[in-house]
Amino acid sequence: MRIAQVAPMYEAVPPHKYGGTERVVSYLTEELVRRGHDVTLFASGDSRTRAKLVPTSAAALRERFTLQEMREVAPPLHLAMIGEVMQRADEFDVIHSHVDYFPWAFAPFVRTPLITTMHGRLDVAYWPPLIERFPKTPLVSISHHQRAPLAALHPHWAGTVYNGIPVSEFPFSAKPGDYFLFLGRIAAEKRPDWAVEIARRTGIKLKVAAKIDPYDQEYYDREIKHLFDDPLVEFLGEADEEEKRKLWPARMRCSSRSIGLSHSAWYRSRRWPVGRQCWR
């Protein structure tokens, strides 16, 4: 099958450090290639893949763009990328988008099917009017619970596909570490302050391996930075893949998956190949 994978340009595919969506796109792309599919990846020019790479920017945007550029320049750059994808639509049997709503308005003008995996939060204000405007757009959720904020609108859910990982890259550790691990991104919806509070209440050390986006710098400076002065907290900054694997044998990993998905609190623990993870 001829497949176009369309990735955000904020991080490389795979990302050098943080980058959840781009990492999932990389895993998916490489596995499709391994299975014999003809895959074309539209992504930043510093991406690495066995697929056919179409560089849609010289390099990933986050590390070289200012906050203003991320807000004002990045969106039109993604629209330009979508334009290139749609111009080449006849070359593919399916277009798999990972860039939210950007291609939806153009999909009716091409014959190639478009499907979009929704990687982020769906409880933000712009989703309802977009779903109402494009009700037949096939969507993929990454969990059943993720759909909840849009349930009343009945989007065209084609299915749920949980984010997969190559298990062999995450060695199992039967012996847990003596610390909690907060891994991901510092942002208000991720609630790193809760992670600190849990560490304080339990007396267990907390390691924070997380990036700070330009969008979130003010939040970090105002509400989080002083919390990391606690002797129980060790802020490691943004971790690359090698550093993440060294950190995995934590007592409990608190992923920075967004918590703003429902009005009621829900906690869930899940076995990972390397131990146990918790998230809200």
25 and 149 co-located in one domain: yes
pLDDT at 255: 54
| Total number of domains in the chain | 2
Pairing state between β 275-279 and 268-272: antiparallel
Q: Is 52 helix (H, G, I), strand (E, B) or coil?
A: strand
125 and 217 assigned to the same domain: no
Same domain, 50 and 133: yes
**142 found inside a domain:** yes
Instruction: Sort residue 277 into left (φ over 0), alpha (ψ -120 to 50) or beta.
Output: beta
Q: Which residues pair with 116 in a beta bridge?
A: 97, 139
* Model pLDDT, residue 234: 96
Of the candidates 220, 168, 199, 212, the one whose C-alpha atom is nearest the C-alpha of residue 27 is 168
Do 274 and 233 lie in a common domain?
yes
263's CB contacts (< 8 A; 6+ apart) are: none
Which range marks the domain in which residue 7 is found? 2-160
For residue 75, tell me if it sits in a domain. yes
Each of the 280 residues of the chain gets a pLDDT tens digit; together they read 999 999 999 999 999 888 889 999 999 999 999 999 999 999 999 999 999 999 999 999 988 998 899 999 999 999 999 999 999 999 999 999 999 999 999 999 999 999 999 999 899 999 999 999 999 999 999 999 999 999 999 999 999 999 888 888 777 777 778 899 998 899 998 999 999 999 999 999 999 999 998 889 999 999 999 999 999 999 999 988 888 888 877 655 555 544 443 322 223 333 345 444 443 3
pTM as predicted: 0.83
Residue 36 lies in a domain: yes
Cβ neighbours for 62, distance < 8 A, ≥ 6 positions apart: 10, 11, 70, 213, 214
Of 104, 133, 160, which one is at a domain's C-terminal end?
160
185, 237: one domain: yes
Say whether both 91 and 198 belong to one domain: no
Instruction: Quote the pLDDT of residue 192.
Output: 95
10 φ, ψ (degrees, to nearest 5): -65, -35
The burial of 196, by beta-carbon neighbours within 10 Å (0-12 exposed, 13-18 middle, 19 or more buried), is given as buried
Q: What region does 100 belong to: left with phi over 0, alpha with psi -120 to 50, or beta?
A: left
272's tokens: 């990972």
